[in-house]
Structure 1
Amino acid sequence: MATSHLPSFRRRALSLSSFNVPRRYHTPIFLLQGLCLAPAAVGFFHQLSRAWYPPLYDPTHLFHVKSTPLIYYVSMLWCLLVGYWSSILTTSMARRWLYRYQVTNVMLRLLVLTGVNWLGSYWIYRSYGPDQPIWIWMTISGLLLLANVSKLMWTTAIDPKYQSKFASPSPINSLNSLKKTSQDIHYRSTVVRVLVLPLMVVLFITMFAMLFQVAHMRQTAAPTHMQVDAKPHPAFSHQPGNTRVMVFVLSAWTPKSYEKRRVFRETTMQLIADADPNVTFHVEFVIGQPPTEQVRATMNAKIEQEIAEFNDLKILDTSDKYEDLSEKVYTAMEWMDQYQFDYLMKTDDDIFIRWDTISKELRAMGKQQRYWQGLAYWNIPPIRDARNKNSEMDYTLPIFPPYTAGALYILSRDVVRLIAGVGGPRLFVKNEDQNLGIWLFPFNIRPIHDRRIQQIDACEEDMIAKHFGDFDEPGAIGGTMYDMINNLRQGRKMCEGFRVNVCAMCYPCHGKATNWREWNFACNDIKGVTLLNPPKLTIID
């Protein structure tokens, strides 16, 4: 027989515990066999450390990690299964190779097999990411299961010569069928004992653990707008169950803004008393640090008196310059993110707001998630003319993501957390309304278009935000905030006496003196405002 010329260690039956190789090869073979366990061992202790000390954020510090200690413990079972099957595959392949090749050749093959195991495990880990521990090790174990089954099928069906060395030799041809049956039984028994049984045990434990996890999360999970790490705000402490709306009004250190805050309090804020009793608004004016020492010296005494009298003005540790509006808005959201509330509303100190209408709509809508309402714009390119105060040279892409006008927009609590409650770098452009769209674009959150919010000198009876900015001449829009509050208090139409011949954006223009289409705008009831004839798009390198 051909095997009679093999060395004695080749002729003896090989076991999983010993390869029957010359003594000088014992240590190298043992080390090569043990290297196959490295990915499973590293994974096991990594999952153990995460189970004991669960991370709060992923390595980018951008997103919350969703895996719980129970998930990490279950993934440890899959790591053990991966180590067991890696050992079985490496041992069985070493046995087969030792039957056919020289020991040094077998050691090289084992080294290659170990390298493939390591690289494959690392690639799968990188593909899934750090917050999918069970899927990572289930995938690796699935590939090892396929490799073990393929190896058994190969050695049983395609390589009978290798299998025959484990069977008792017989010269009687009539026993061939019995040998074949014995080999099939041995093959099936090996599959069940080595592969199926361990897999079924781990699968059942995983299934029951995940069912328990789902039941536990249903019992303990709180809505996103009720952040467990946020603290109650004193303004909402006596209104349990109410819809809580935090409002920040963007203002400045200038004498003109000081006067606007006074008018804002005496006019539009008076409508808060008419709001739905189940909706609570808390209003804070927001300013930054004085832009110059001259401004500080001129306005500081007035600002301090204003804070002492009204206690509704917050001075943030950020710039108060016009070109830094985006940073001021972001800092305001960071400050408000520490509190519990249901909605955040942002507006300016020259906007007349229908608090009564907004409160009724919020009450009817209830608490929402991923909610963003405002006068929406889409496919708007940056202004590249440096002479324009709203020009944008730092934003390199040809168009802005969808955004809402800064006159007024409403965000649900979870959206504020996505903007200001997670780590990571932030891009700041000059205009804060466009910056909001940039921040929310990666989360695939799109604004709900509301044409009732206007920034031009138009007036419509159903508006919820009317702009009272500077229009160069006194009485340009037909009245003041005092006139508008008086109209409402005396039962007149809100826009009586105001300039109504200007066609408000996205409203019908029949019978109006102006038409927003002539201003190169187009409107979509869902998407909002865009340009009728957009200019040539530009990209800044």
Structure 2
Amino acid sequence: MLLYPNACLHFLRLACRRWSRLLLIITLVCPCFLILLFLGKLEEGFSYFLPLLISSPSHPSSTVALPHPLPPLLISPSNACSNSPFFLILVTSTPSHLNRRDAIRQSWGRLSTSLTLFLMGVPESQDEKAALVQEAGFHGDIIQAAFADTYRNLTVKTLVGLTWAVENCQNAKFLLKTDDDVFVNTPSLSDFLRVQKGPLYLGRIHWHVKPIRETYSRHYTSKDEYAGDYFPPYCSGTGYILSQEAAVLILQEQGRVPLLSLEDVYVGILASYAGIYPQHSARIAGSMMIPHQECCYRTMYTSHQVTPQGMSEAWAMLSKTEKEWCLGALLRCRISGTW
């Protein structure tokens, strides 16, 4: 008569042990999973599987086809790459942002192994036009083409810069496209890029993004421009890196889709046609503004929404002789960052 209760009791004990082990595993694994997810390390790992979903890149030709005619250059620093910089930084700016450009010139844009150039269109004001010509003559770091300097022309601005780079700065192994309110840790980024190989398209990946169909939005994309329900994975336009080979392959794919005003999305679409997959980096902030602290600027490759004064202060932090001990900085800075 006691066999049945004893068997039930034994079964319950075994079940409790198994559930305790499972609960222990969940207790240990879930926090690690959440930490890796927040850091972006899971995205980094997942991005390595994208080559299984995208065809291999073709070999670049010696010339770049331009199905979308680009506006002619008005200002071109033709001898800017004479010193063969290791990597070229293309900063999208507007003519009125002189204080931002000067802050970059006096901080992270000074690294000797890189070259920083500013991409602009034509301002409406005659005074700004004259001031820009004078600025270009003094600094020799401005690329300007004959198009209106507006948000909707950001894609044209970027294509002008990339095309200029592959035609005039072929010795630069890598190109960084960024904005004039982004702080770039050029020393750390330079060290990182020195060990990179092959076609590279690196940044903070946006996954599974739907086109905005509301006409009132500045991010509006019509069905004629892009008919798909989702954009392919692409890197945030606040800062992404292309190897020279990847830039050539991407530019060759123009004309496969209509020109989009969403510059980072358009580059991502061209990359997918070229068979180049984006790679995610947890140290590229995307649209995140990290805390104004030494450890954060030393740990991250980029930070968004940095003021001109903040640029100078951040560069001074990086240049300090005595370095702060930055244990767990990536996690702390991303937790404290604002989007």
- Fold shared per TM-score above 0.5: yes
* Alpha-carbon offset, residue 307 of structure 1: 0.9
Q: Quick one: which amino acid aligns to residue 376 of structure 1?
A: I
Task: Tell me how far apart the structure 1 counterparts of residues 198 and 131 of structure 2 sit (CA, whole Å).
Answer: 40
* Alpha-carbon offset, residue 359 of structure 1: 1.2
2:231 counterpart SS class:
coil
1:248 counterpart SS class:
strand
1:269 and 2:98 matched:
no
1:485 and 2:315 matched:
yes
In structure 2, relative to structure 1, the CA distance for the partners of 1:316 and 1:451 (3 Å cut) is same
* Greater Rg over alpha carbons, structure: 1
Q: 1:334 aligns with which of 141, 163, 172?
A: 163
Matched residue pairs, number?
Answer: 258
1:364 and 2:204 matched:
no
1:327 counterpart SS class:
helix
Q: Is contact 1:484-1:494 (8 Å) kept?
A: no
Question: Which residue of structure 1 lines up, in the alignment, with residue 9 of structure 2?
Answer: none
Task: Tell me how far apart the structure 2 counterparts of residues 306 and 355 of structure 1 sit (CA, whole Å).
Answer: 24
1:364 counterpart SS class:
coil
Question: Which residue of structure 2 lines up, in the alignment, with residue 404 of structure 1?
Answer: 235
List per-residue Cα deviations over 1:290-318 (Å, max 9, x = no partner): 2x3xx2x1312221221111000111233
Task: Tell me how far apart the structure 2 counterparts of residues 425 and 374 of structure 1 sit (CA, whole Å).
Answer: 23
Task: Tell me how far apart the structure 1 counterparts of residues 208 and 100 of structure 2 sit (CA, whole Å).
Answer: 33
User: What aligned pairs does 1:275-294 form with structure 2 within 5 A after superposition?
Assistant: 280-290=113-123, 292=124
Q: 1:301 aligns with which of 108, 124, 130?
A: 130
In structure 2, relative to structure 1, the CA distance for the partners of 1:421 and 1:480 (3 Å cut) is same
2:237 counterpart SS class:
strand
In structure 2, relative to structure 1, the CA distance for the partners of 1:453 and 1:422 (3 Å cut) is closer
Task: Tell me how far apart the structure 2 counterparts of residues 429 and 444 of structure 1 sit (CA, whole Å).
Answer: 19
Task: Tell me how far apart the structure 2 counterparts of residues 404 and 495 of structure 1 sit (CA, whole Å).
Answer: 31
In structure 2, relative to structure 1, the CA distance for the partners of 1:322 and 1:238 (3 Å cut) is closer
* Alpha-carbon offset, residue 423 of structure 1: 6.6
Q: Is contact 2:183-2:306 (8 Å) kept?
A: no
1:445 and 2:271 matched:
no
Task: Tell me how far apart the structure 2 counterparts of residues 245 and 483 of structure 1 sit (CA, whole Å).
Answer: 24
Question: Which residue of structure 2 lines up, in the alignment, with residue 347 of structure 1?
Answer: 178
Q: Is contact 1:337-1:420 (8 Å) kept?
A: no
Task: Tell me how far apart the structure 2 counterparts of residues 430 and 229 of structure 1 sit (CA, whole Å).
Answer: 25
Task: Tell me how far apart the structure 1 counterparts of residues 159 and 216 of structure 2 sit (CA, whole Å).
Answer: 26
- TM-score by length of structure 1 reads 0.43
1:248 and 2:78 matched:
no
Task: Tell me how far apart the structure 1 counterparts of residues 218 and 306 of structure 2 sit (CA, whole Å).
Answer: 16
In structure 2, relative to structure 1, the CA distance for the partners of 1:463 and 1:513 (3 Å cut) is closer
Question: Which residue of structure 2 lines up, in the alignment, with residue 313 of structure 1?
Answer: 142
1:329 counterpart SS class:
helix
Q: Quick one: which amino acid aligns to residue 404 of structure 1?
A: C
Task: Tell me how far apart the structure 2 counterparts of residues 494 and 353 of structure 1 sit (CA, whole Å).
Answer: 19
Task: Tell me how far apart the structure 2 counterparts of residues 303 and 380 of structure 1 sit (CA, whole Å).
Answer: 37
Question: Which residue of structure 2 lines up, in the alignment, with residue 181 of structure 1?
Answer: none
User: What aligned pairs does 1:31-430 form with structure 2 within 5 A after superposition?
Assistant: 234-238=79-83, 244-253=86-95, 255=96, 257-270=97-110, 272-273=111-112, 280-290=113-123, 292=124, 295=125, 297-339=126-168, 340-341=170-171, 342-365=173-196, 368-393=197-222, 394-421=225-252, 424=255, 426-430=257-261
1:462 and 2:299 matched:
yes
Q: Quick one: which amino acid aligns to residue 448 of structure 1?
A: Q
Q: Is contact 2:136-2:142 (8 Å) kept?
A: yes
Q: Is contact 2:288-2:337 (8 Å) kept?
A: no
Question: Which residue of structure 2 lines up, in the alignment, with residue 431 of structure 1?
Answer: 262
Q: Is contact 1:334-1:421 (8 Å) kept?
A: no
Question: Which residue of structure 1 lines up, in the alignment, with residue 34 of structure 2?
Answer: none
Kindly report the root-mean-square deviation, in angstroms, between the aligned alpha carbons of the 2 structures.
3.4
Q: Is contact 1:400-1:434 (8 Å) kept?
A: yes
List per-residue Cα deviations over 1:227-274 (Å, max 9, x = no partner): 7669xx7455455xxx73222111112x2x22211111112223x14x
Q: Which structure features the higher share of helix residues?
A: 1
Task: Tell me how far apart the structure 1 counterparts of residues 290 and 302 of structure 2 sit (CA, whole Å).
Answer: 11
1:337 counterpart SS class:
helix
Task: Tell me how far apart the structure 2 counterparts of residues 463 and 447 of structure 1 sit (CA, whole Å).
Answer: 19
Q: Which runs of 5+ in 1 are unaligned?
A: 1-62, 67-223, 274-279, 517-541
Task: Tell me how far apart the structure 1 counterparts of residues 237 and 332 of structure 2 sit (CA, whole Å).
Answer: 20
Task: Tell me how far apart the structure 2 counterparts of residues 513 and 463 of structure 1 sit (CA, whole Å).
Answer: 11
List per-residue Cα deviations over 1:74-108 (Å, max 9, x = no partner): xxxxxxxxxxxxxxxxxxxxxxxxxxxxxxxxxxx
In structure 2, relative to structure 1, the CA distance for the partners of 1:435 and 1:493 (3 Å cut) is farther
Identity across aligned pairs (percent)?
Answer: 25
Q: Is contact 1:316-1:332 (8 Å) kept?
A: no
In structure 2, relative to structure 1, the CA distance for the partners of 1:469 and 1:482 (3 Å cut) is closer
**Larger relative CO (CA 8 A, sep 6+): 1 or 2?**
2
* Alpha-carbon offset, residue 463 of structure 1: 0.4
Task: Tell me how far apart the structure 1 counterparts of residues 131 and 324 of structure 2 sit (CA, whole Å).
Answer: 33
In structure 2, relative to structure 1, the CA distance for the partners of 1:391 and 1:229 (3 Å cut) is closer
Q: Is contact 1:337-1:421 (8 Å) kept?
A: no
List per-residue Cα deviations over 1:126-149 (Å, max 9, x = no partner): xxxxxxxxxxxxxxxxxxxxxxxx
Task: Tell me how far apart the structure 2 counterparts of residues 503 and 384 of structure 1 sit (CA, whole Å).
Answer: 37
Q: Quick one: which amino acid aligns to residue 299 of structure 2?
A: D
Q: Quick one: which amino acid aligns to residue 485 of structure 1?
A: W
Task: Tell me how far apart the structure 2 counterparts of residues 235 and 229 of structure 1 sit (CA, whole Å).
Answer: 21
- TM-score by length of structure 2 reads 0.66
* Alpha-carbon offset, residue 404 of structure 1: 0.3
Task: Tell me how far apart the structure 1 counterparts of residues 248 and 254 of structure 2 sit (CA, whole Å).
Answer: 10
